[in-house]
Amino acid sequence: DVTNCKVHNPIIIINSVMKIVIIFIIISLLPCCSDIDSQYFNGEIKEVNVKNVISKNINSTHVPIKGIATGIIAAYDSLLICWSPSYPEHFFNIINIDTGKEIGYFCKKGQGNKEIISTNCISQLFKKNDKLMTLLHAPNEKKLLVWDLSSSIKKGTTTYDTIIPYDNNHILFSFYQIENVLFAYKPAEEINSQEATTPHYEKRTIYTNQLIQDFPIYKTKSIQNPNAKSPLDFFF
């Protein structure tokens, strides 16, 4: 019966077949993609299962801050520690977030005694002899400064627990581990216009600045690109 005969559009059929082929190719490549990470990175990249994350409802409290809270901040208990190069004479301003009042400014800028030209923001707070401290790097003065926040707040003036000569301007985000061990991130560095090292982590001694152990992130120690139009260290 010609009246009941259906004529299919050949273009629609081709498109349907192409979709099936593409889906098949994607599915076949999925097992291969899971091994790509191990080709380039040391370690394993894992996805966080958000279903297992415990969430809690908390009540926030609005506290008006009377001081200048700006820049990059770190918080510990009732302390809000603000780092900003825009402060006129110091690098840090500490505020009591229970009262909103300024406690004071610390780590003076300058070239005088116990003054520094530049330093990092806080990436770690730790306790030493039951006092709150952090590690600062002053690259221009070539020093590591163990800043005693507890004593500084109590005395109202900057107090350093230890000042250590340290000539190493190639590390970032230094973490104090134990008495003489530092864990730091070493960013990529340009070797020449077509080659750069890959970033990695280092464990170093504090007092002698000696390398203890390397922790490579990538399988290769450097990358090369003869056609690079900009320094390769910017890639990271």
For 221, phi then psi, to 5°, come to -85, -15
Enclosing H/E stretch for 85? none
Report, as ranges of residue numbers, the positions in the chain whose pLDDT lies below 50.
Answer: 1-17, 19-34
What integer pLDDT is reported at residue 206 of this predicted model? 86
The pTM of the full predicted model, rounded to 2 decimals, is 0.71
For 89, phi then psi, to 5°, come to -125, -15
Question: Nearest-CA neighbor of 224 among 185, 194, 200?
Answer: 194
Give pLDDT tens digits for 17-65: 454 444 444 444 444 444 566 777 777 777 777 777 788 888 877 878 8
Q: Which residues, at least 6 apart from 216, have a Cβ–Cβ distance to it below 8 Å?
A: 42, 198, 200
What integer pLDDT is reported at residue 90 of this predicted model? 95
